[in-house]
Structure formats: structure tokens, C-alpha cells
């Protein structure tokens, strides 16, 4: 067995630990002052973060309150339509319950096939996914426009 002239680099290297400049221990007061300065900097950064978070919460809260006011005004301007939306939401909710029942039966009856084959899983998602997503979206809109007051905004 011959050795290759291009050897791999050594795993360990030598480190020169000869005396150079001597490190003197810090004065205890210098260390305390440095730590206090660092803590003040951290506290200032946290205070700024808290201010920014408060501004962010206020912005989101203001937008939510504005949407709530506008929705309340719409409901007052369209009381019959709001009641109709409530009735429609209740009816569509029953449709959703039936749809979910059908979907869960399908899953339970075909669980092995859904797990084993991409084709069956894709067919299932294509069959139920878009309908469920759209149904949930329509129900959400109808519920928001219904005449039932939101307890959080009362």
C-alpha cells in the first residue's frame, strides 16, 4: 500500500501558548460599571420595544373598531337584510353540518386508501376542499352581516 504524496491536513494543530502580553485582572469596579451599562442598554431597548408594541396594538385596535362601527352602521341601515343574513346563516350552517358528516364518513370508510395512495387523497381534496373552503367563507360573511350583535363590541 503506497502513501499518496498529497496528504490530508492534520486533524490537530499546534497552538503557541508562550507568554506575550500579560492580561491583568480587571478592577472589580470596572466590571460592575460595564455590567450596569449593559443592563441600562438592554432596559432602554426593551422600553423601545414595548412602545412599538403598544403602537402596533393601538393601530390594530383602531382598525378593528372602525370596521365594527361600519358594520354596525350597515346593520342599522339594512335591518331586514341583516335579519335575512342571520336566517340564511342558520340554514347554511345546517348544510355545513350535513356536508361535514358526509366528508367524515368518506374519510372513515376510505382511510386506508387515502393514506396509501396519492390519487385517492388528491381526489378527496379536489372533491371536498374547495366546497368546504367556499362554504366556510360564505358562512363567515353571512354571520358578520347578521343582525345578532357581537358581545365583544357591546
Q: Which residue has the higher pLDDT, 73 or 26?
A: 73
Would you state the pLDDT for residue 31? 87
Is residue 106 assigned to a domain?
yes
55-114: per-residue pLDDT in tens? Answer: 999 999 999 999 999 999 999 999 999 999 999 999 999 999 999 999 999 999 999 988
Between 24 and 123, the more confident residue is 123
Helix axes 79-109, 28-77, angle to 10 degrees: 110
- 116-138 pLDDT, tens digit per residue, is 888 888 999 999 999 999 999 99
Q: Check: CB of residue 99 under 8 Å from CB of residue 131.
A: yes
Q: Are 61 and 38 within one domain?
A: yes
* Structural domain contains residue 8: no
Q: Is 79 exposed, middle or buried (0-12, 13-18, 19+ CB in 10 A)?
A: exposed
Confidence class for position 146, pLDDT limits 50, 70, 90: confident
Query: Is residue 135 within 8 Å of 75, Cβ to Cβ?
Result: no
What is the domain count for the chain? Answer: 2
**What percent of the chain is helix, strand and coil (3-state, nearest 5)?**
75, 0, 25
Cα separation, 6 vs 11, in Å, equals: 15
The whole-model pTM stands at 0.55
Residue 2 resides in a domain = no
Q: Pick from 16, 49, 77: which residue ends a domain?
A: 77
Identify the pLDDT of residue 117: 81
**Grid cell listed for 59:** 393601530
Amino acid at each position: 500500500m503506497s502513501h499518496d504524496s498529497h496528504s490530508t491536513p492534520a486533524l490537530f494543530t499546534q497552538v503557541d501558548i508562550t507568554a506575550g502580553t500579560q492580561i491583568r485582572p480587571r478592577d472589580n469596579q470596572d466590571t460592575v460599571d460595564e455590567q450596569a451599562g449593559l443592563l441600562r442598554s438592554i432596559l432602554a431597548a426593551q422600553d423601545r420595544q414595548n412602545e412599538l408594541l403598544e403602537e402596533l396594538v393601538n393601530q390594530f385596535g383602531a382598525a378593528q373598531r372602525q370596521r365594527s362601527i361600519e358594520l354596525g352602521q350597515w346593520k342599522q341601515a339594512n335591518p331586514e337584510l341583516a335579519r335575512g343574513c342571520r336566517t340564511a346563516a342558520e340554514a347554511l350552517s345546517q348544510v355545513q353540518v350535513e356536508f361535514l358528516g358526509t366528508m367524515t364518513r368518506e374519510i372513515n370508510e376510505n382511510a386506508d386508501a387515502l393514506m396509501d395512495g396519492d390519487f385517492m387523497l388528491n381526489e378527496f381534496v379536489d372533491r371536498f376542499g374547495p366546497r368546504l373552503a367556499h362554504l366556510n367563507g360564505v358562512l363567515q360573511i353571512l354571520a358578520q352581516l347578521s343582525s345578532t350583535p357581537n358581545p365583544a363590541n357591546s
